Amino acid sequence: MAEIAELNRIFAGGRWTPATGADIMHVYNPADGSRIGRVTAASVQDVELASLAALEAFAGWRDTAVSERAAIVARIADGLAARAVDLADGITLEVGTPRHKCVRMQVTPAVETFKSAARLGPKVLVEEQLDATRIRKVPVGVVACITPWNYPLYQIASKVAAALMAGCTIVLKPSEVAPTNAAILADVASAAGLPPGVFNVVFGNGPTTGEALISHPAIDFVSFTGSTRAGARIAAIAGQHIKQVSLELGGKSASLVLPGVDLQLAVSKTLEKSFQNSGQTCAALTRLLVPSDALAQVSALLKTQVASFPVGNPSEASTVLGPVATADQRDKVLSLTAAARKSGAELLASGPVFGDPSGFYVPAEAYLTDADGGLAQEEVFGPVLAVVPYSDIDEAVDMANNSPYGLSGAVWGQDREEAGKVAARIRTGSVSINGAATHPDAPFGGFRMSGFGRERGAHGIEEFLTTQSIHF
């Protein structure tokens, strides 16, 4: 698969319709910088068509039995699983995820998200009786879903599966960087029996297509994942129209190593979480907080372990990390690390880079910096780890909380209970103890500039519900 299909259409009312926008956006292969596709940005008229289709379909989908909604959502999961190869090929081509990891990292989580929504939906959508008052859970209405490029299909699934189970209809605007998986999803959803107009797709960028979608009168709720800067803009536009929003934004998560732990394990697992998807993960552990007296040992471990994260062509089976997804992202990472070195940050370790010089490659790196340094405060969104030493536990907790973000985190400690108490002091949406896996149905979301609202599991479905009280 060397090119993607030209996406010069929108999916509205159950069928593909030619897009009428004048703007053309190009899609690039981050492995070599080549142009591999074109996307026609949806016009205001296209957004109108898709939004009205969703509005027209809303009442019928809202009134569809929960069991039938669950059956359709489950069939969508099966349909995506059947298209796993096509989906993974496209995501590798557009995002740069190593192909041998792509089904596991990018496709399977999306499939499981649809399965989870189908399983949990009937348990969430129950009525409550309060004496003579019936309290119903009802869908918020027509939802605009705006999603990023780093985990393109999974981020779509996290919103769409929950919204469908809640009884909402949807207009999706996927990232223009990685659009093909959304087109496949539209076909899969239609084949699964989703009624026309329940799920609609428009392609385009944020300032034109996205803002037209948020502002459209048919849209009741906006669910967005992306940068904090874009999230602030979306919240401002939605606020003008008194629309609900859910924002999953940036992060600068800390991995806090308590004294006396297995440093080999803590460092290796932190690097895995920091460099996953070439660092393009909002919940990446990008700050490693270590006891001052362990800094020399940690530095030695990093020199060895960072070298085991070579960056290379995503099509090769030996590649550990692929390129970052865009030229702009490559330039941002290189600019931030250059500025950090100029400001006094010390490069502790750097991994090798193999790949086409025209590709969007950056090395995996670890830097020693202070808690207020740029690499410890700014979301880099690349394979860069900031290492910060601390003197005592209180200072470590203060450092972990010394961030405008609050999305994720980790604590490493010999005593589980002590580690849990430290974790409870960290102001983030989730914290893992000693590398514990995140439960796929646990709520995910952040505090402060990481946004508000929750995705995944029952809480993710609740996000698209409101209540109606009927008094008898």
Output helix, strand, coil percentages for the chain, rounded to the nearest 5: 45, 20, 35
Q: Identify the CA nearest to 284 among candidates 150, 395, 424.
A: 150
Q: Are strands 128-130 and 133-139 parallel, antiparallel or unpaired?
A: antiparallel
Largest CA distance in the chain: 71
Q: pLDDT tens across 260-295, in order? A: 999 999 999 999 999 999 999 999 999 999 999 999
Burial bucket for residue 271 (CB in 10 Å: 0-12, 13-18, 19+): buried
* Residue 211 · residue 135 · CB < 8 Å: no
Q: Which two tokens stand for residue 384?
A: 């860069």
Q: Which two tokens stand for residue 290?
A: 């270590």
pLDDT recorded at residue 1: 45
**Helix segments in 347-448, DSSP class H:** 374-377, 393-401, 416-424
pLDDT recorded at residue 2: 60
- DSSP letter string over 39-64? EEPP-HHHHHHHHHHHHHHHHHHHTS
* Residue 50 · residue 201 · CB < 8 Å: yes
Q: Identify the CA nearest to 339 among candidates 285, 387, 380.
A: 380
Q: Identify the CA nearest to 172 among candidates 192, 208, 141, 142.
A: 142
* Residue 400 · residue 286 · CB < 8 Å: no
Q: How many CB atoms lie within 10 A of CB 13?
A: 18
Helix and strand tally (H, E) in the chain?
A: 16, 20
Q: What is the C-alpha to C-alpha distance for residues 351 and 333, in angstroms, rounded to an integer?
A: 15
**Helix segments in 106-210, DSSP class H:** 108-124, 152-166, 180-191
User: First-to-last CA distance in the chain?
Assistant: 61
Q: Which two tokens stand for residue 84?
A: 């796993």
User: What superfamily in CATH does domain 253-440 come from?
Assistant: Aldehyde Dehydrogenase; Chain A, domain 2 (3.40.309.10)
Q: Identify the CA nearest to 146 among candidates 184, 174, 110, 178.
A: 174
* Residue 135 · residue 469 · CB < 8 Å: yes
Q: What is the C-alpha to C-alpha distance for residues 228 and 138, in angstroms, rounded to an integer?
A: 29
Per-domain residue ranges for the chain? 9-249+450-471, 253-440
pLDDT recorded at residue 6: 87
* Residue 443 · residue 460 · CB < 8 Å: yes
* Residue 355 · residue 323 · CB < 8 Å: yes
The CB-side HSE value for 165 (13 A sphere, CA atoms) comes to 34
Q: Identify the CA nearest to 230 among candidates 173, 301, 190.
A: 173
Burial bucket for residue 315 (CB in 10 Å: 0-12, 13-18, 19+): middle
SS3 123: helix
- DSSP letter string over 254-274? EEEE-TTS-HHHHHHHHHHHH
What type of residue is 107?
V
pLDDT recorded at residue 5: 72
Give the angle subtended at the CA of 334 by the CAs of 331 and 339, to the nearest 5°. Answer: 120
* Residue 87 · residue 106 · CB < 8 Å: yes
Q: What top-level class would CATH report for the domain 9-249+450-471?
A: alpha beta
* Residue 273 · residue 410 · CB < 8 Å: yes
Q: pLDDT tens across 11-62, in order? A: 999 999 999 999 999 999 999 999 999 999 999 999 999 999 999 999 999 9
pLDDT recorded at residue 296: 98
Q: What is the C-alpha to C-alpha distance for residues 270 and 400, in angstroms, rounded to an integer?
A: 15
Entry pTM: 0.96
Active site positions, annotated: 248, 282
Q: Which residues of the chain have pLDDT under 50?
A: 1
